[in-house]
Structure 1
Amino acid sequence: QDNFNPGQPRASKPAPTVFCYICGRQFGSRSIDIHIPQCLKKWHAENAKLPKAQRRAAPTKPEDVVVGGVVDQEATNEANWKVSQGTMLECENCGRRFKEDRLSVHQRSCTSDNPAKRVASKSRERP
């Protein structure tokens, strides 16, 4: 009981996370610089597997949003997330959007004769 210190609990704030502009996943501010080159390499590999007519230009990193000389992390994350959503492909049968590597898996069960159920048309907000 020598280690018991009464008083307010000392909960620390969680470390800030950054959205990857390629895949949309969240990473710690130190991990994102390691993740992006690997994610871009995977994106190029998946894009190369697509038929030439479906291949697209690599996503470009949006500029950091600066307000009053300071990077606005929330606005920058929003811009990164929006770019990541633009990399998704739409299923021609049901209209749902998927990452490139998942579209072919989805289309095994979603056909023009038996399309998957459409998702509600509400605009999707960032998690």
Structure 2
Amino acid sequence: MIRHPPTIVCYICGREYGTKSISIHEPQCLKKWYNENNLLPKELRRPEPKKPEVRTISAKGFYDLVALNEAAWQSSQSQLVPCSVCGRTFLPDRLIVHQRSCKPKAAK
């Protein structure tokens, strides 16, 4: 059985990083998020994502990575914006591109 090293999900972008890399990634990811958010039209700008606080610590004093990753994943998914036509969810910068080609279904 191959055992992979533990990973932590970024609460901003939803990608997985190693336990040592996440502390380097999160400040850079948040800075990138600010830059991208400021370029969006005012109606698509989002509030700053908040880091979820999971207080489930095991008897040995370790964080419950499953609960921590689930909370971070939910936080990253809450950043998505639904299309007003089809309902699919996108990051706001990708929604603009999607809406160029998304057309309502014609009645049969």
**Structure 2 residue 88 is matched with structure 1 residue 81:** no
- C-alpha contact 1:65 1:75 (8 A) present in aligned 2: no
Structure with greater proportional helix content: 2
- C-alpha contact 1:91 1:103 (8 A) present in aligned 2: yes
Indicate which of 55, 66, 72 corresponds to 1:65: 55
Question: What 5-or-longer segments of structure 2 have no aligned partner?
Answer: none
Q: TM-score, normalised by structure 2?
A: 0.84
Alpha-carbon RMSD across the aligned residues, in angstroms, is: 1.9
Structure 1 CA distance for aligned equivalents of residues 62 and 87 of structure 2: 39
* Range with greater deviation from structure 2 (22-31 or 48-57): 48-57
| Deviation sequence 1:51-76 (CA, Å, 0-9, x none) | 22332211000113323443111101
**Aligned-residue identity in percent:** 52
Alignment of structure 1 residues 1-127 onto 2, 5 Å:
13-67=3-57, 68=59, 69-112=61-104
> Which ranges of 4 or more aligned residues in structure 1 deviate by more than 4 Å?
none
Q: TM-score, normalised by structure 1?
A: 0.73
Larger Rg: 1
Q: Higher RCO, 1 or 2 (CA under 8 Å, sep at least 6)?
A: 2
- C-alpha contact 1:19 1:26 (8 A) present in aligned 2: yes
Distance 1:111 1:49, change over 3 A: farther
Question: What 5-or-longer segments of structure 1 have no aligned partner?
Answer: 1-10, 115-127
